Amino acid sequence: MDAAPVHAGRHRRERNRTMRIAVAGGTGTLGHHIVEVARERGHEIVSLTRSSGVDLIAGHGLAARLAGVDAVIDAANITTLSATASTEFFTAVTRNLLAAEREAGVGRHVVVSIVGIDRAPESYYAGKLAQEREVAAGGVPYTIVRATQFHEFAGQMASQTSFAGVVLAPTGTFQPIAARSVAEKLVDVAEGEPVGGTVEIAGPQPESVSDAVRAVVRAGGKRGPVIPVALPMPMLKALRNGAVLPDAGTELRGPTFAEWLAAQ
C-alpha cells in the first residue's frame, strides 16, 4: 500500500470555517506540532497548560479556557511504565476535560491513542485503553486517532538505554510515523465530523527497532557499541510479538524513518 501524502486531507479544511481549537499537551513531542499545524491552517489555539492557569489532573481552570471552543485535541501525556500511574493520569485528565467540554458545549473531542494497545493491555498502554473507554462514554462527540510509535521513539529509546557509552537497542519491529504527520491527521479530524469511534494511522513501512536506534545514535555522531537486546518491559515485548503493528487497511503517511532522520 502506498503512503498517503503527508498533507492529505487538507481539502477538507477549505470547506471549514476557522475554528477555535483547545490543545491539551500542546508543548510535548506531538502537541507542539498540533499547535503549529492548526495555526498554519488559520485556526485559533487555546492552550490548556499550567502557564495558562489550567491543571488537567485537578480540573482547575478548564471551564474558563473552553468557553467558545469548537474542538479539543487531547495530546496530554505522562512518562511512566506503571499501569496504575498511567490509568490514574489518563482517567483523571479525560474525565475533567469531558466534564468541562459538556458544560461549555464543545462540539468534538479528538484524542490520540496507540495502534494495537488492546492486544497489549499492560503498563502504559493500560492507561491509554482506560482513556479510550472514558472518551467513548463521555457524552461528547469524539474521534479516537490511534497512531503507531513516532519516529522520535528511536531517539527516546537510545537516551533511556545508554550506559557508559553503550546503547542497548530494543529488538522488535515497528512501523513508525512522524509526529508531524500524526498532528496533521489530528487537525484533519478536528476539522471534520466526529466518527464516534476509532481511526488508525501508521508510517509507510515496518522498521527494525534496533536498526532505527542505531541509525539515530550514528546520526548523532556517536560511535560506541549499539547492542540489540530483548528488553523485558511489556511495551517492548509488544514490539517483538507484533502486537502494535497496524492492520491491513490502516491509513499510511510518510515520511519514512530514513527520510525523517535525514531531515533532522
Taking residues 175-185, report their average pLDDT.
98
pLDDT at 30 over 70: yes
Report the pLDDT value the prediction gives residue 2, as an integer from 0 to 100: 42
Taking residues 233-248, report their average pLDDT.
90
Spacing of C-alpha 175 from chain mean position = 14
pLDDT at 11 over 80: no
Report the pLDDT value the prediction gives residue 74, as an integer from 0 to 100: 98
Better pLDDT: 15 or 177: 177
Mean of the per-residue pLDDT values of the chain: 92
- Percent pLDDT > 90 in the chain is 83
pTM: 0.91
Q: Cell numbers 547492542 label which residue?
A: 227
Asked if 127 contacts 89 with a C-beta cutoff of 8 angstroms, the reply is yes
Taking residues 204-213, report their average pLDDT.
96
How many beta carbons lie within 10 A of that of residue 264, not counting itself?
A: 10
pLDDT at 164 over 70: yes
Burial classification of residue 195, based on how many CB atoms lie within 10 Å of its CB (0-12 exposed, 13-18 middle, 19 or more buried): middle
Report the pLDDT value the prediction gives residue 234, as an integer from 0 to 100: 83
pLDDT at 104 over 80: yes
Report the pLDDT value the prediction gives residue 16, as an integer from 0 to 100: 52
Taking residues 66-87, report their average pLDDT.
96
pLDDT at 3 over 60: no
Report the pLDDT value the prediction gives residue 1, as an integer from 0 to 100: 39
